[in-house]
Amino acid sequence: MNDCGRIRELLPELVRGELSVRAAIIAKTHADSCAECRDELRLVRMLSDNLAPLPAGLEDRVIMAVRNVRPMPSRRWSPAHLAMAATVAAAVIGGSIMYRVVGFNTPAVDLTNETATLNDQSAVGWAATEDPMLHGASFIQERTVEELEMILAEIDG
């Protein structure tokens, strides 16, 4: 930072009378010889003269209030939160596996067939049929070895 930058940082303290005698002489001498710093000093004095006075004791009350503030407790994952997250993750993963396994082996719904009824299982898709996986039937026994290997590969991948 150049001399002007350092002097400009000191100007508010100079105006408030908070600088040491030596620092005040250096700042005033520089401001007298530098037009930009002299204008800055004039501006700081104008702002300081036009500040509204603080109510008595405000600074002390603010400092006490800041000291009395308790820090916010840190957010930690409780075992209950972790269990809930694991349950949701398992449901999502299991649901996506079920969707992939059951979804690829179901007939498409023909929405153009106006004569289709709810009893016509080919027209309404797998939702109207009994799903052997949901009812505990032997779904695996109906699959070929290649299909089972593909299912295992999807589960592992």
Per-residue pLDDT tens digits for 23-53? 999 999 999 999 999 999 999 999 888 877 7
Task: Give pTM, 2 decimals.
Answer: 0.36
Q: Does a structural domain hold residue 143? A: yes
Structure tokens at 148: 């089972």
Q: Does a structural domain hold residue 80? A: no
Structure tokens at 115: 């004569």
> Which are the contacts of 85, defined by CB distance < 8 A and separation ≥ 6?
77
Per-residue pLDDT tens digits for 65-96? 888 877 777 677 788 888 888 898 888 888 77
Q: Does a structural domain hold residue 139? A: yes
Q: 29, 50, 71: which is the final residue of a domain?
A: 50
- Chain centroid to CA 75: how far? 14
Q: Does a structural domain hold residue 105? A: yes
Task: Assess whether 100 and 152 both reside in one domain.
Answer: yes
Q: Does a structural domain hold residue 44? A: yes
**Sign of the CA dihedral running 143, 144, 149, 153:** negative
How many structural domains does the chain have? 2
Per-residue pLDDT tens digits for 101-131? 665 554 554 555 555 444 444 544 444 455 5
Q: Does a structural domain hold residue 112? A: yes
Domain containing 16 equals: 3-50
- Per-residue CA distances from 9 to 21, 33, 46, 117, 132 (Å): 16, 17, 16, 84, 79
Q: Does a structural domain hold residue 144? A: yes
Q: Does a structural domain hold residue 72? A: no
